[in-house]
Each structure stands twice: as C-alpha cells, then as structure tokens.
C-alpha cells in the first residue's frame, strides 16, 4: 500500500518523464510537488518505490524513470484524462466537419487526424458490418474489355473491383447477369449474399448462360472484400521513432504488422472494453514490448460500434492521449450518425 506522498511522487515521475523524457531526481520532485518535504524524505520514498518495482534507475543517472509496472499502476489508479484545449477541440470538429462521400472516408480521415494530433500511430476500424444489407450491384465500363463492378451496401459503404470481361461474354450478357444478381440478392445481408453466391446463384446463372465463365467468382470476391474488417492507419512510420529495436528484421516486422489483417485482429480484436490500455508485454508481441496501446470504442447506434486506437511508446502522455481519444470518439460518433441520417433521408 502506497502512502499519499508516495502516490504523489509516482504520479509526478510519470508526468514529468512522459512530458520531457528525462530521468527525474529528488530536487526536481521537491520543486514540483504540491507538498513541501525535504530532498532526503523524497529519496527515501523513491527508494521504496524502486523496491516495489514501480520506478527504476537509468544507467549512471541519479534520476528515476517509471517501470512498466509503474506505468500499469499509474494507469489503473492515478490516471485521469486531460481535457483538450479549445484549439485542439476545434481542430477535431473542423476536420470531421468535411462533406464525406463514404463511411471509409470518415474513418480514414480519423486515423490521419489522430496521428497528426498525437504524433503516434493511429488505427481506426469502421462500425460492425453484421447487419449491412445489399443495396445493389452496378457495372461501369472503363475501356477495352475492362469493367468496374461496384457494390453498394445499406450502411453507405461502396466497394469496387476492376475485372476483365470473360472471353466470349458480351456487354448484353453482363447486364443480364447483373439483373439476376440484383433481383435475387438486394435486401439480403452480405453474409446471406455470399452464401447464395456459393450455392444457388451459380446454377441460376448457368441456366441462362450455360456456363458462368467465372463471373460469379467476381461477385463473390467483391462481397468478401466488402464484408471484411477494414483497418485504416495513420502515421505508420511514427512507430519507428519509438522502437528500441534497430535491426532490419525488427523494423520489417513492425511495418509488416500494419499490412496483415490477422496481426491487427490479434492486436485489436481482443479489446472488449469501452476503453482499454495495454502496456509492453501485455500486447503479446515481442516487437511491441516498448509500446503501449490505447483503444476506445465509438457508438453509432443501430449501425454498431467502431474502434479507434493509438499505438505509441510506453512513455506516451497517457493523460493527454486518453483525453484526446475521449473527445475524438464523441465527435466521431456524432459525425457518423449525421452521415447515416443523411443517407437514410436521401
């Protein structure tokens, strides 16, 4: 059990180190603490904190820095979100006030904004797609034998895929296939659409074409693409600024992390809490032992919940970052609800 003074000292060491990056000595603490005590008393308290594994000595410096255990204790018992100033709040409001054509644009912009505001790596995930239904398929000729297939879903998502017209198939036949798909599949959930494309739709298309010539596979691919969780990442290279691993394989591993949905699922998919902080070894990835991850959900009503996350060093400014995420997710929820309302009214 820590005394009130020891709690103040630990909190000040975390605050000072995360803001300035320098080990903290007893004289600095004596000047900064709200209570007046001698340097000797502070050194005794620091010694106890060090014995408990909450702070540690860096090299030959007489100062101390928080340990991973110390950061964990601070986050669990001492952390309170720092309120954003008016300029930062307005920056978020203005950035999300843009007219967006698609949900993906909002979520992508969010990742970029969070990265710019924190100088860390930001990850955003759009709301769950479980209840999304098919609004329709469209085809747009783009020259030669190339066609753009477009899928529009009920939540405003638009997914496109370019393909070559199968040999022996003309534009009139393509239009017939498109009508079959829309007549049979509009209004069904994307999971149901995919199931029909795997079962009865191929037989139906073959009744008209005698062979589907791979065209059904193209529809399957775009539905699968639309259904997948899509992560948007801002400031990918920022992660290199805080890594203590300088060997090439570690750098490659960190950058590859953002290109693999399975790895991102493992990193973000287990966060069931409304707000969650994982530090160092808690991330279960040896490449991220020097990092912390803060995740927060944002609520879009009947459309489900999305996720925003910040990946930064264990010495990140937790209070400021937490306050930023708290404000940002509220603004993002409001912006998404406005978008969907406009979509429903149109």
Specify the pLDDT at position 229: 64
Q: Kind of pairing, strands 55-57 and 64-66?
A: antiparallel
Residue 175: beta bridge partners?
none
Contact 145, 162 (CB under 8 A): no
Specify the pLDDT at position 305: 87
> pTM of the full predicted structure?
0.79
Q: Is 67 helix (H, G, I), strand (E, B) or coil?
A: coil
Region 305-315 average pLDDT: 94
Element housing 56 (H / E):
strand 55-57
3-state helix vs strand vs coil in the chain, percent to 5: 55, 20, 30
For residue range 111-145, what is the model confidence (pLDDT) as tens digits?
999 999 999 999 998 887 666 789 999 999 888 88
Element housing 90 (H / E):
helix 86-95
Specify the pLDDT at position 153: 87
For residue range 33-44, what is the model confidence (pLDDT) as tens digits?
988 889 899 999
What confidence category does residue 233 fall into, taking pLDDT thresholds of 50, 70 and 90?
A: very high
Residue linked to tokens 């203590």: 244
Q: Is 47 helix (H, G, I), strand (E, B) or coil?
A: helix
Q: Is 280 helix (H, G, I), strand (E, B) or coil?
A: helix
DSSP H helix total and E strand total for the chain: 13, 10
Specify the pLDDT at position 270: 60
Q: Write 85-94 long-range contacts (CB < 8 A, 24+).
A: 88/117, 88/324, 88/327, 89/327, 91/117, 92/117, 92/327, 92/328, 92/331, 93/331
CB contact burial 202-239 (16+ within 10 A = b; e otherwise)? bebbeeebeebbebbebbbebbeebbeebbbbbbbebb
Residue linked to tokens 């904190």: 49
Specify the pLDDT at position 139: 93
CA angle centred on 325, ends 284 and 73, rounded to 5° = 50
Specify the pLDDT at position 308: 95
Question: Three-state SS string across 190-246, please?
Answer: HHHHHHHHHCHHHHHHHHHHCCCCCHHHHHHHHHHHHHCCCEEEECHHHHHHCCCCC
Of 269, 270, 283, the closest CA to residue 231 belongs to: 269
Specify the pLDDT at position 60: 61
What is the set of domains in the chain, with CATH numbers? 4-77 (1.10.10.10), 86-129+229-345 (3.30.450.40), 134-227 (3.30.390.60)
Q: What is the spatial distance between Cα 327 and Cα 92, in angstroms, rounded to a whole number?
A: 9
For residue range 160-216, what is the model confidence (pLDDT) as tens digits?
999 988 877 788 888 889 999 999 999 998 889 999 999 999 988 888 776 666 889
């Amino acid at each position: 059990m820590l005394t009130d003074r020891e709690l103040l000292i630990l909190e000040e060491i975390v605050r000072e180190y995360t803001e300035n990056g320098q080990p903290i000595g007893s004289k600095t603490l004596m000047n900064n603490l709200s209570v007046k005590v001698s340097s000797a008393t502070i050194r005794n308290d620091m010694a106890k904190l060090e014995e408990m594994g909450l702070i540690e000595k860096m090299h030959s410096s007489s100062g101390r820095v928080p340990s991973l255990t110390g950061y964990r204790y601070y986050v669990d018992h001492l952390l309170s979100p720092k309120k954003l100033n008016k300029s930062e709040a307005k920056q978020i409001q203005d950035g999300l006030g843009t007219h967006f054509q698609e949900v993906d644009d909002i979520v992508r912009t969010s990742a970029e904004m969070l990265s710019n505001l924190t100088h860390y790596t930001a990850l955003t995930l759009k709301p769950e797609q479980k209840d999304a239904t098919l609004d329709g398929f469209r085809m747009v000729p783009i020259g030669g034998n190339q066609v753009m297939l477009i899928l529009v879903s009920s939540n405003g998502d638009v997914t496109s895929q370019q393909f070559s017209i199968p040999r022996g198939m003309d534009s009139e036949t393509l239009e017939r296939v498109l009508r079959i798909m829309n007549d049979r599949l509009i209004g069904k959930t994307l999971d149901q659409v995919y199931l029909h494309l795997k079962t009865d739709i191929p037989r139906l298309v073959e009744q008209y074409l005698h062979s589907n010539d791979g065209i059904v596979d193209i529809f399957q691919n775009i539905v699968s693409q639309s259904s997948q969780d899509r992560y948007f990442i801002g400031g990918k290279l920022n992660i290199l600024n805080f890594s203590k691993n300088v060997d090439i394989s570690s750098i490659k591993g960190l950058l590859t992390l953002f290109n693999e949905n399975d790895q991102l699922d493992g990193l973000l998919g287990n966060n069931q809490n409304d707000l969650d902080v994982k530090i160092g070894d808690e991330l279960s990835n040896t490449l991220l032992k020097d990092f912390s991850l803060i995740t927060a959900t944002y609520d879009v009503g009947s459309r489900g919940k999305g996720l925003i996350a910040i990946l930064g060093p264990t010495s990140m400014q937790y209070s400021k970052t937490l306050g930023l995420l708290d404000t940002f997710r509220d603004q993002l929820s409001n912006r998404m609800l406005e978008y969907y309302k406009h979509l429903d009214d149109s």
